[in-house]
Amino acid sequence: MRVCLTILTVLLTAQVAGLSFAQGQPDHRPIFRDVSATAGITATHRGVWDPEKSRQGYLAIGQAWGDFDRDGWIDLFVTGNLDPNALYRNDGDGAFSVSEHSQLLSLPDVPSGGAVWADYNNDGWLDLYIVNYGANRLFRNEGGSGFQDVTLGAGVGDTGKGTSAAWGDYDSDGWLDLYVTNWSCFPECDPVDFTAQQDRLYHNNGDGSFTDVTVSLDYALTLGAGFAPAFLDYDGDGDSDIYVVNDKLQNEIGNVLWRNDGAGCGHWCWTNVSSESGADLLINGMGVDASDYDNDGDLDLYITDMVYQMHLLMNDGAGGFRNRARSSGSAINMGPDAGVGWGAVFFDYDNDGWQDLYVAATNYHQTFPELEVSFMNPRADALFRNDRHRGFHNVSAASGIDAELPTLGVAYADYDQDGDLDLVTGNWNSGYRLLQNQNGDKRWLSLDLRGGGDVNRDAAGTVVQLTTPDGMTQLQTVSIGAGLGGNNQLPLHFGLGDATAADLRIVWTNGAECSLDAIPANQRLRLVYGVTAGCG
């Protein structure tokens, strides 16, 4: 294995006072603090769910982090559903300003749901894809000076009831492909037309256009009422598979795991391994995230559910999953008046080297004898701290997230560059909350990976293994699209605990590898494929 030297020096060193735990019990300081007002995050969200009276409903939200102007500070885009969308520019001082380009992206006449940043044309600037109820929109970044709507020429303007989208280079040709989930045409259509809710898989042609290759998937399995997709290499064979979370309310096909089997089969070979892998959950699925929460070298899944308990699918390393939600302590939503799970993200909020878990939630009520059902009621979200033994401690009471709101979306980023991960949450018929992490007393390392040549510019699908001197190894993959309707920051954030340095092994999407030894903690590094010495 070749040793590579980073081309970028330390961009930031920071440590902030944090929070300590003993047997999962917090001290008096909150983990997060709501700084929405002082930061200037005032965007609103307005949605309708009334299948009985108005026959209307669009259960969608979007929150996406991305440094669109490349000034080194991560910016934020949020969708309003029936209200206008908003683009916030990070001012670098803890506050945000509404961008001069926000109006173009606001789409006031189109209900908007999920949103994701990605450099689809490999020009070094993040572009924005907005998922709508109606034609989706792709906005090309014009070198930080504005955006241009290129939807028509790109061919990605699907007109379903869009919920979420994810980007990934499934054929490893260096260009990002796109998967879009659509929910049901219900309640507007009666009877429900399943063909109107088909998901879409788009192949990037490398010339600014895409080809709809949904036909390469089993048609019947693309008709679920989809809420969230994810590109992930669940079997560790070096290519991106696809997992789709479906809501059985309208079409009971269950969640679908597509194994990537390479070229052929007309365009590409996808094998449905949902049943054999144990990932074929027939649930009211809402959100999904993938992470190696138990630090055993493979990707696990957390899937939220509307009616029943959440699901933690632990990867057994042999192509299968085992549901460990109950035994791990992360199985919220038990019994009547319980929580409805929506977006969820794995992230290491306390920088101890173990992935914690945040679950966005609302409350479910069913009244008798009228049998009226309501699931958009306020409820506090759930925060779980990883106990390092394949379980979690529920630390919601100490989280500082004491406001009970109907929360659908969540995404993380170190927006203030202090070395710990912060959150933005999207709240139904309300707006967005910026939650600043108060817990940064441990060391960390941030890696900004950039592709080149036959590695996509965002390096999506690239795997990093980090090992600290105590022998603990963490695995993370660059991914675009997470939780429900949004995306986290692109740079990988590793908590190092008390370690002062770590070794890195990077495996790019084309199989090339490089390593870095004894990298000092508390810094932000940029590694560029084909430029960084020894890496391509």
64 closest CA partner among 148, 131, 152, 18 = 131
Q: Which residue has the tokens 């969200």?
A: 45
Tokens representing residue 107 in the block: 């789409």
> Where in 169-255 does DSSP place strands (E)?
177-183, 200-204, 210-212, 225-232, 241-247
Range of weakest confidence among 6-10, 193-197, 351-355, 489-493: 6-10
Rounded distance between C-alpha atoms, residue 394 and residue 387, angstroms:
10
Check pLDDT > 90 for residue 245: yes
Q: CA nearest 436: which of 120, 24, 41, 8?
A: 41
377 touches 363 (CB < 8 A): yes
Calculate mean pLDDT across residues 227-239.
Answer: 98
Question: In the predicted model, what is the mean pLDDT of residues 306-320?
Answer: 94
- Cα–Cα distance for residue pair 441/436, rounded to 1 Å: 14
Q: Of 194, 260, 278, 183, nearest to 484 (Cα)? A: 183
pLDDT digits 0-9 by tens, 79-110: 999 999 999 999 999 999 999 999 999 999 99
Confidence of residue 1 (pLDDT cuts 50, 70, 90): very low
Residue 442 has pLDDT above 60, yes or no: yes
Q: Which two tokens stand for residue 391?
A: 């379980």
pLDDT > 80? residue 340: yes
> How far apart (Å, rounded) are the C-alpha atoms in residues 190 and 268?
35
- State percent of the chain over pLDDT 70: 91
How far apart CA 365 and CA 375 sit, in angstroms, is 6
39 secondary structure, DSSP code: H
- What is the C-alpha to C-alpha distance for residues 423 and 166, in angstroms, rounded to an integer? 19
- Residue-level pLDDT at 21: 33
* 2 pLDDT higher than 50: no
Among candidates 316, 243, 311, which has minimal Cα distance to 479? 243
pLDDT grade for 10, boundaries at 50, 70 and 90: very low
Q: What is the pLDDT of residue 367?
A: 59
In which band, very low, low, confident or very high, does the pLDDT at 532 lie, cut at 50, 70 and 90? Answer: low
Residue pLDDT, tens place only, 458-507: 999 999 999 999 999 999 999 999 899 999 999 999 999 999 999 999 99
Mean pLDDT of 45-71: 96
> Taking residues 377-387, what's their average pLDDT?
93
Nearest Cα residue to 196 out of 206, 210, 182, 208: 182
Cβ proximity of 177 and 170 under 8 Å? yes
Percent of the chain with pLDDT over 90: 84
Question: If pLDDT is split at 50, 70 and 90, which confidence band does 526 have?
Answer: very high
Q: What is the pLDDT of residue 402?
A: 72
Q: Enter the tokens of residue 161.
A: 């009831």
**Among 14-18, 64-68, 231-235, 351-355, whose mean pLDDT is lowest?**
14-18
Whether the Cβ atoms of residue 82 and residue 46 lie closer than 8 Å to each other: yes
Give the DSSP letter of residue 222. G
Amino acid sitting at position 125: W
Average pLDDT over the chain reads: 92
DSSP 3-state of 167: strand
Cβ atoms of 352 and 326 within 8 Å: the answer is no
> What pLDDT does 332 receive?
80
For the segment 215-230, the average pLDDT, to the nearest whole number, is 98
The bridge status of strand 32-34 relative to strand 501-507 is: unpaired
